Amino acid sequence: MGDVDVLFLHPSTHVLTPEGEVVRYVAMPMGTFALADLLERNGYSTRIVHTGLKRMLDPNCRVENLVKTFEPTLVGIDLHWYCHSYDAIKLADCVKRCTNAKVVLGGMTASFFAEEILSSFDCVDYVIVGDAELPMVELTKALMSNREVSDVPNLAYRKGSTIKRNRRAYLASDEDLDKLTCSNLRLLEDWDLYVRLIHENDVLSPKLKTQGWLMIGRGCFTNCSYCGGANLAHRKIFGRKQPIFRSPEKVGEDLKAFEELGISCAYMDFDPYADRRFYYKLFELVRKERIDISSQFLVWSLTDRNFVHDLKRTFNPLYTTLTISPETGSDFVRLQNRGLYYDNQSLLRWLEMLEEENVPAELYFASGLSGETVEEFKKTMKLGEKIIRTYRNVVAASCNPLFLEPCSPRFLMPKKYGIRLKFKRFSDFYETYRCFAEGAVPSSRLGYDTEHLDESQIIELSGKFNDMVNSILEGENLV
Ligand code: SF4
């Protein structure tokens, strides 16, 4: 028996550029921390290793050596986001080549493609399909005592030449989420570097900011066309019909722990209900407990002024921002793609209100939306320009080409959304990210064309938007 019973490995996405290897998507799924902590509390020793951070610290670092040091019985690899499709499998292969440890994959991408992954890659022993808390504890228990895994809920695996999926199912409830602690960051090696680098996409790149992602709940009640975490995906993968929440008290405990760890900003991205009743309770608790932390709050719909007041009097202003993704400047295109709709006029009034309240705002736009044409995209350019020139509280506005997300509405119903799919199987995602990792050119980067735009046009449109924003900011000496 080695030092560690269960080793969690986070794959990162490795991209080979002419300047050398670059690590992308540093953030880890919040559930990994919860799982590792849960196993510890069940008597198993765990450790989390972020392979991207390890490579940043030491370009000669070899995963083989790390895994050999820990001698784990089970290795858990998160494959939640499709961008890790290649690196997750590469890690699994590496583990199998250097130890006898069993390998389990989990997360939304792994869940959605479980059967294909198990049929194609011998290096993966198990996939947990859906919520992983109880399954992970039971799988560990079974392996540590050399028992069969046929009763472990949500588990898919190979048996001989067939793929099995256990009948027993587990769907986490609000109460189950409340048993989790998501702030035990010390289980991650180099966690202090992680909290400094996690906000890699923050355009302001504040050098001393440290950030922690807060787990607030799971699920969504609506369906944005491009989102792999939409209601449809949660129903299909987890069997979850409605969003579930942790209690404000448990979330408050994690915020307190973040503060004690020296984290200066909590990233809060779970906002399914416009009444925001949950947050009024949470914010009251944060004030009562005098927790001193900033909040990067991602709103999924427009808020009223009351909410903004409450946010302001709760969080430290240093890094507090509201982030919103209008995606497009065309009301027509937004209506076709966003589950929670608002029009441009309402958005502008909301930004004006934030300006009056002195709250910084960040905006994200996208290209490649369903129904978007070159003409419609001009409205995105126009809206972006107006916002940047008008509101002094807007600290960032950027545009990104949409990637095809597995199990998103447009992936499941391409015709309805006017999409021509280039990625249909796990192997398509795997192949594209293999090319990125090896410095080769993939046959498709985004995984689709729309009925109006091909991939290169979609990428070009985002580039134009970002050039426009940069030239305005440069003209005003703001960058
Ligand atoms: S992008 Fe849309 S569908 Fe996805 S989680 Fe946000 S609100 Fe829900």
Closest CA to 251 of 204, 295, 219, 210: 295
Q: How many CA atoms lie within 13 A of 71 on its CB side?
A: 3
Q: Cα angle vertex 263, ends 261, 268, to 5°?
A: 125
**Distance separating alpha carbons of residues 8 and 423, to the nearest angstrom:** 28
Neighbours of 169 (CB within 10 A): 14
Q: Which band of pLDDT confidence, cut at 50, 70 and 90, is reported for residue 134?
A: very high
Q: Distance of CA 445 to CAs 87, 431, 435, Å?
A: 16, 10, 10
**Distance separating alpha carbons of residues 151 and 205, to the nearest angstrom:** 47
CB 195 within 8 Å of CB 261? yes
Which atom of ligand 1 has the smallest separation from the CA of 221?
Answer: 8
Summarize pLDDT for 432-451 with one digit per residue, the tens: 999 999 999 999 999 999 99
Return the residue whose CA atom lies nearest to atom 7 of ligand 1.
300
Instruction: Using CA atoms of 83, 87, 92, 95 in order, give the dihedral in degrees to the nearest 10.
Output: -150
DSSP per-residue letters across 421-462 = ES--SHHHHHHHHHHHHHTPPPS-SSSEEESS--HHHHHHHH
Which atom of ligand 1 has the smallest separation from the CA of 300?
Answer: 7
Q: Cα angle vertex 188, ends 20, 81, to 5°?
A: 60
Ligand 1 in contact with 270 (CB < 6 A)?
no
Query: Helices marked H in 85-147 — which ranges?
Result: 85-98, 108-112, 114-120, 133-144
> How many angstroms is it from 107 CA to the middle of ligand 1?
17
Ligand 1 in contact with 229 (CB < 6 A)?
yes
DSSP per-residue letters across 271-336 = ---TT-HHHHHHHHHHHHTT---EEEEE-SS---HHHHHHHHHHS-TTS-EEEEEEE-S-HHHHHH
Closest CA to 332 of 321, 324, 323, 343: 343
Q: Distance of CA 70 to CAs 4, 137, 198, 416, Å?
A: 6, 19, 25, 49
Residue 199, pLDDT score: 75
Residue 1, pLDDT score: 47
Terminus-to-terminus CA distance in the chain, angstroms?
55
Summarize pLDDT for 396-433 with one digit per residue, the tens: 999 999 999 999 999 999 999 999 999 999 999 999 99
Q: Inform me whether the pLDDT recorded for 76 exceeds 80.
A: yes
Summarize pLDDT for 177-210 with one digit per residue, the tens: 999 999 999 999 999 999 998 876 555 556 678 9
Summarize pLDDT for 150-160 with one digit per residue, the tens: 999 999 999 98
In what helix (H) or strand (E) does residue 56 lie, and over which residues does it extend? helix 51-57
Ligand 1 in contact with 384 (CB < 6 A)?
no
Q: Inform me whether the pLDDT recorded for 113 exceeds 90.
A: yes
Ligand 1 in contact with 300 (CB < 6 A)?
yes
Which atom of ligand 1 has the smallest separation from the CA of 228?
Answer: 4
Ligand 1 in contact with 409 (CB < 6 A)?
no
Closest CA to 401 of 323, 453, 334, 443: 453
Residue 204, pLDDT score: 53
Q: Inform me whether the pLDDT recorded for 139 exceeds 80.
A: yes
Residue 421, pLDDT score: 98
CB 356 within 8 Å of CB 430? no
Closest CA to 70 of 103, 43, 45, 97: 45
Which atom of ligand 1 has the smallest separation from the CA of 339?
Answer: 2
> How many angstroms is it from 217 CA to the middle of ligand 1?
13
Ligand 1 in contact with 220 (CB < 6 A)?
yes
Summarize pLDDT for 359-386 with one digit per residue, the tens: 999 999 999 999 999 999 999 999 999 9
Q: Taking residues 463-478, what's their average pLDDT? A: 87
Ligand 1 in contact with 222 (CB < 6 A)?
yes
Ligand 1 in contact with 230 (CB < 6 A)?
yes
The neighbouring-strand residues paired with 106 are 78
Record the pTM. 0.95
Ligand 1 in contact with 227 (CB < 6 A)?
yes
How many residues appear in the chain?
Answer: 479
Domains of the chain with bracketed CATH: 6-165 (3.40.50.280), 203-475 (3.20.20.70)
